[in-house]
Amino acid sequence: MENEYLHEIRVFENFDMISFEEGHVVVTTEVVHKSLNYYGFAHGGYLFTLCDQISGLVAISTGFEAVTLQSSINYLKPGKLSDQLMIEGKCIHNGSTTKVVDVSITNQAKEDVAKATFTMFVTGPVDK
């Protein structure tokens, strides 16, 4: 039995890496149908996962692997089907055991969709 209220959510089906510099990563993606919630807006879990992935990439950009230790997110404006989202992560604390990353998601009109902060626990150096 298929439930009309529950469906698969996909993240990073389509993306472009705009910038990958030490402590700063920018990626763009388009909101697709599989990114939407029951109400037709970008699912909060989808937006959170975008932020979480970028936080991990920011940690990697500093030369270290890391996992999420703590996070918080504020949803500010709904993401809509076909919106072009820019996800930007900046390392604001580059410690040896933790990294703190601020992440913002904006739409094509440069409106804030979400703001998040992630504390990443360093698990070791990036193997090259």
**pLDDT at site 14:** 85
**pLDDT at site 13:** 77
Q: The CATH number of 15-125 is which of 2.60.40.10, 3.10.129.10, 3.50.50.60, 3.30.1490.20? A: 3.10.129.10
**Banded pLDDT at 54 (limits 50, 70, 90):** very high
Residues 111-122 pLDDT 10s: 999 999 999 999
- pLDDT beyond 70 at 5: no
120/110 Cα distance (integer angstroms): 27
Residues 59-104 pLDDT 10s: 999 999 999 999 999 999 999 999 999 999 999 999 999 999 999 9
Sequence spans of domains, the chain:
15-125
**Banded pLDDT at 1 (limits 50, 70, 90):** very low
Amino acid occupying residue 57 = L
- pLDDT beyond 70 at 28: yes
- pLDDT beyond 80 at 39: yes
**The two structure tokens encoding residue 51:** 């932020």
- pLDDT beyond 50 at 35: yes
Query: What Rg do the C-alpha atoms of the chain give, in angstroms?
Result: 15
- pLDDT beyond 70 at 3: no
